A and B are shown apart, each in its own frame.
Chain A
């Protein structure tokens, strides 16, 4: 009798749990395995999920199909050799792993007037124009330090790196030390936006390792089409 009573209680508990699960489960998930993720944006936690209203449609600037080209031309999928192009799931996984554990950064490479109108949670704004500068420019130095990159110390009076001089090490002409460089994921307004591709090309010119760069080509437009969370910085 007592066992039956306990079994009944367990059954009720199970029903309640299932009920609670159904109440809080989302209808519009990111993927089968992922309903939402948490990131820190400007020191505050933000949940990234999709808009739950299934009749929602895109309006406003990012619903526009056509802009003058040049300058707003369609970008290729492969921005540069060695750079990985990614889509939303990879962006979210990057955030869950590399961004949340501090080994990666998500960079909104747009000019500040775009950024301030809304950005992808977890992103920091480093406008593409910053990467146009030379290593002597304080803006570039500041940006590089955020990416974990420092200027190499000046060579000594004997002519710099001995291993290089002896031909035992490749002569890297870059003035930057990328040994602690973070994995970086850059994005801008979407497939028609040249801001993050330009930032990537300039980073490569500076010597940034291509295998540490990720390019989210879909950018803000794809992010919005999927109804993913946006924050006003």
Chain B
């Protein structure tokens, strides 16, 4: 059997089969490529840490004298801590204000014991993630 067009023989069975196979293969390659891209994106995302943590580790290196005074002020009570929080990182504060009073107190006590704001921020994010 041959494929015909106005009586002329154009393609044989083998040729039709080859074209079909090539077409199927190209579709398969396209699909595989798309999946590859998503896999690569997923791998890259896996290598990425939470952005806020990377930023907080940088923020620690602020001028030492000023930071110490600020931290000492923030250690006085939870209100001062929240003022400090607002000044240092309003973005994470948006998450912090969604937490319960109990959770906020835990964060404050963590900050009080460690005197490390980045740990308080990390705890904020962790507690928020636990809720979800």
Contact = CB atoms under 8 A, between A and B. Distances in A.
A188 to B, nearest CB: 10
B41 interface: yes
A146 B62 CA distance: 41
A196 to B, nearest CB: 12
Interface string A181-211: 0000000000000110000000000000000
Interface band, chain B? 20 to 34
Nearest to B48: A61
A100 interface: no
Interface string A47-90: 10101110111111110000110011000000000000000000
Given A229-B91, A231-B91, A232-B95, A60 B49 contact: yes
Interface of B: 36-38, 40-42, 44-52, 54-55, 57-59, 61-62, 90-92, 94-95, 97-98, 125, 128
Given A71-B37, A72-B40, A229-B91, A117 B59 contact: no
B47 to A, nearest CB: 6
A55 B57 CA distance: 12
Contacts of A231: 91-92, 94-95
B52 A195 contact: no
Given A71-B40, A230-B52, A232-B52, A57 B125 contact: no
Contacts of A62: 48, 51, 54
The dominant DSSP class at the B interface is helix
Given A44-B98, A46-B91, A232-B125, A53 B61 contact: yes
Most buried by A among B49, B50, B90, B95: B90
Most buried by A among B44, B57, B128: B44
Interface string A205-233: 00000000000000010001001011110
A44 B38 contact: no
A121 B49 CA distance: 18
Contact of B92 (A56, A68, A194, A232): A232
B50 A118 contact: yes
